[in-house]
Amino acid sequence: MAKDAVTSPTPLARHSTARAKLAPGPKWVRAAKAAHSLIRGRSFSRFQGVVGTLAGIASIIGAVFTLVEFVRPGNTGDLVTIVQAAGSRGSVTDATIEVLTTQDALVATLTPDETGRVTQALTEGVYVVRVSHPRYASEVRRIHVLPRQTVEMRASLRPGSSSPIKRAVNSSVGAVRKALRF
């Protein structure tokens, strides 16, 4: 007889049948139901574990980027030199860039890349930068490098000779021509 007795549905069965009978509601209700069905079956502690792991990874990455600044010596800065032909703004790739101390001691000799740009790390101080090319007049500038800062120098080379001997010869030839009225 116990087998023939009618039993009431379980609470879970009642909710599932009631849920199936609900008419579709506003969009936010449907979105909430979809999110609930996606989350159902997954524990909140698992979600916390994933979030905690991601936060730990982000903290480690931030610490590494911070330490990179301390690895670099604190008394150095960067010199960025950009060499261009005056008027045309085209880059001069085969120029020679010499970095000298104020006592004319050579610190570095550099050659720009295909864009006319070169970068050099220098210790804090005052330097003389000389940019020369056989077809252009030399350009000399005095720069001051500060720690952890970048000094940008744009050199616009004008046509003419950078060799002092060629300049002396050309000026002498020009004086002779002027005297003889050529």
Domains of the chain by residue range: 26-69, 76-165
CB contact set of 2 (below 8 Å; sequence gap of 6+): none
CATH number corresponding to 76-165 = 2.60.40.1120
- Exposed/middle/buried for 133, CB within 10 Å: 0-12, 13-18, 19+? buried
Give the pLDDT of residue 38: 61
Query: Model-level pTM?
Result: 0.53
Per-residue pLDDT for the chain (182 aa), expressed as one digit of tens each?
A: 455 555 555 544 444 444 444 445 677 777 777 766 666 656 677 778 888 999 999 999 988 887 776 666 678 899 999 999 988 878 888 999 999 999 999 999 999 999 999 999 999 999 999 999 988 888 999 999 998 899 999 999 988 765 565 655 666 666 666 677 66
For 12, the token pair is 């879970």
3-state secondary structure at position 4 = coil
Give the pLDDT of residue 30: 76
Instruction: Give the C-alpha distances (Å, rounded to integers) separating 8 from 16, 147, 179.
Output: 14, 81, 126
